[in-house]
């Protein structure tokens, strides 16, 4: 298996070298908005631990990511008056992974509204700021 590369985009976000629209952080995880969202509120949850994907993450670190994804899902339901949630997690290129730091996609869904194709439209900063504000408020409620 390929070794973890600490120069990946998400590692740089964790170190503060790249900006992110943070919605949640704790000792083990970091959650931020996808800048090319497939739907309003599309959030990525990552471990602070260096893990390429599910094949090399420690079970306890993965459990932290799953718990945070649950929090983000509940906040997304509230913040976007969603009808459901889609959670996705991809591993290795053949599995659809693009950034090689483990991450879960948490996407609030509306009945009858299709997801945008992956990486198809970069959202405007104002929209992402609004969505981050809504998510943070829902997490604090």
> Does the active-site annotation cover 103?
yes
Q: How many CB atoms within 10 Å of residue 68?
A: 23
Q: Which residues of 99-119 are buried (b: 16+ CB within 10 A; e: fewer)?
A: bbbbbbbbbbbeeeeeeeeee
Catalytic, out of 64, 101, 103, 131? 103
Nearest to residue 86, comparing CAs of 39, 126, 125?
A: 39
* Cβ contact 83:28 at 8 Å: no
Cite the active site residues: 103
């Amino acid at each position: 298996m390929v070794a973890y590369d600490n120069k990946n985009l998400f590692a740089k976000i964790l170190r503060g070298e790249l900006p992110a629209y943070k919605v949640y952080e704790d000792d083990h995880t970091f959650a931020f908005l996808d800048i090319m969202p497939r739907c309003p509120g599309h959030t990525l949850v990552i471990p602070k631990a260096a893990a390429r994907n599910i094949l090399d993450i420690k079970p306890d670190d993965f459990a932290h990511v799953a718990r945070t994804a649950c929090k983000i899902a509940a906040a997304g339901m509230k913040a976007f008056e969603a009808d459901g949630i889609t959670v996705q997690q991809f591993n290795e290129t053949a599995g659809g992974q693009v950034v090689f730091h483990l991450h879960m996609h948490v996407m609030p869904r509306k009945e009858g509204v299709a997801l945008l194709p992956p990486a198809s439209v970069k959202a405007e900063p104002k929209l992402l700021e609004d969505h981050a504000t809504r998510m943070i408020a829902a997490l604090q409620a």
